[in-house]
Amino acid sequence: MIPRSFEYYSPQTLDEAIALLQKLGPEAKLLSGGQSLIPMMKLRLVSPEYIVDINRIPGLDYISETGGHLRIGALAREHQLESSESVQSKFPILADTAKVIADPLVRSQATVCGNLAHGDPANDHPATMLALGATVVATGPKGQREIPIEDFFPGLFTTALEPEEILTEIRVPVPPPRSGGAYLKLERKVGDFATAGVAVQITLDDAGVCTRAGLGLTNVGMTPIKAKQTEAFLTGKKLDEATTQQAAEMAASESQPMDDIRGSADYKRDLVRVLTKRALTHALDRAKGGA
């Protein structure tokens, strides 16, 4: 399969890339990892007139921890999450996520920022970033602006990015002590999109009471879903068996799945319930110091 022809640009700086986006307008598409864009171009689901390849811009491939945040640069690849010590020790939920995205070959190229910028509710990082309360940094002609992750996905395959903006960084607050998270995804085979996925990130106080809960759901709605009612329900409670069970049922009712080849809406809703319970239990173990 051969994509339609396009004009190719390979800017060497971020400023140059933004100037190109301004000049070329909405028919221009950014190429980073290309692991979603190129298959879509080959299937001719999208046929951009202009490709702006940002892979040659130096200094964007970082994953670093500074100022109380994990910072993930525009060109950081998924495989870097799997091998980052900071991620392994403080953000096990991100390590969980990276391992179940597509397959190792795709993860060689695919970028974490691209996983958000694509705006696909079937992608995995939106849910984990919702659970972690991340901030998206968009850089455009007027400079940088920060977008809270819960405002980043207004609709199907749509993001809060303006056409001339580039998602340059994801900022994830370093969780306080007694925090834990987990991402669980059911996929039919390696490389498939989630039938459903649940991301949970919690923080406990000294007495074991939940002081913060973040819950994100993958591929059970038109957009990635932040399960706000469940989050509010969990906050201020001890996460015992009954509470966990009730939260799982609540998360299921917050999902909005549709029937498709991966299963019926009812099946997926029940899957959200089961995965939420398991993810909460795992997150709780991790918050208490377990692996």
Partner 1 sequence: MAKVPIKVTVNGVEHKAEVEPRLLLVHFLREDLRLTGTHIGCDTSHCGACTVVMDGRAIKSCTAFAIQANGRSIMTVEGLEQEGQMHPLQDGFFQEHGLQCGYCTPGMLMTGYAFLQSNNDPTDDEIRHAISGNLCRCTGYVNIVKAYQYAAQKMREGGA
**Residue ranges in contact with partner 1 by CB under 8 A:** 1-8, 10, 31, 34-35, 38-39, 41-43, 51, 53, 55, 79, 102-106, 108-109, 190-191
Report the nearest approach of partner 1 to the CB of residue 58 (Å): 13
Integer-rounded Cα Rg, in Å, for the chain is 19
Cα angle 71, 223, 91 (rounded to 5 degrees) comes to 30
Pairwise CA distance, residues 34 & 55, whole Å: 10
Report the nearest approach of partner 1 to the CB of residue 131 (Å): 24
Pairwise CA distance, residues 29 & 31, whole Å: 7
Read off the tokens for 43: 């299937």
Q: At a CB cut-off of 8 Å and minimum separation 6, what does 238 contact?
A: 207, 208, 209, 210
Considering the complex, state which of residue 42 and residue 288 has its C-beta at the smaller distance from partner 1.
42
Residue 186's φ and ψ, nearest 5 degrees, are -100, 125
Considering the complex, state which of residue 21 and residue 251 has its C-beta at the smaller distance from partner 1.
21
Considering the complex, state which of residue 38 and residue 274 has its C-beta at the smaller distance from partner 1.
38
Write the CA distances from 70 to 44, 63, 64, 110, integer angstroms.
36, 7, 6, 19
Report the nearest approach of partner 1 to the CB of residue 104 (Å): 5
Considering the complex, state which of residue 80 and residue 255 has its C-beta at the smaller distance from partner 1.
80
Report the nearest approach of partner 1 to the CB of residue 1 (Å): 5
Read off the tokens for 77: 């690849």
DSSP assignment, residue 151?
Answer: G
Residue with tokens 């799982």: 248
Considering the complex, state which of residue 111 and residue 135 has its C-beta at the smaller distance from partner 1.
111
Q: Quick check: 181 and 199 in contact, CB under 8 A?
A: yes
Considering the complex, state which of residue 55 and residue 235 has its C-beta at the smaller distance from partner 1.
55
Report the nearest approach of partner 1 to the CB of residue 8 (Å): 4
Cα angle 19, 153, 282 (rounded to 5 degrees) comes to 125
Report the nearest approach of partner 1 to the CB of residue 96 (Å): 14
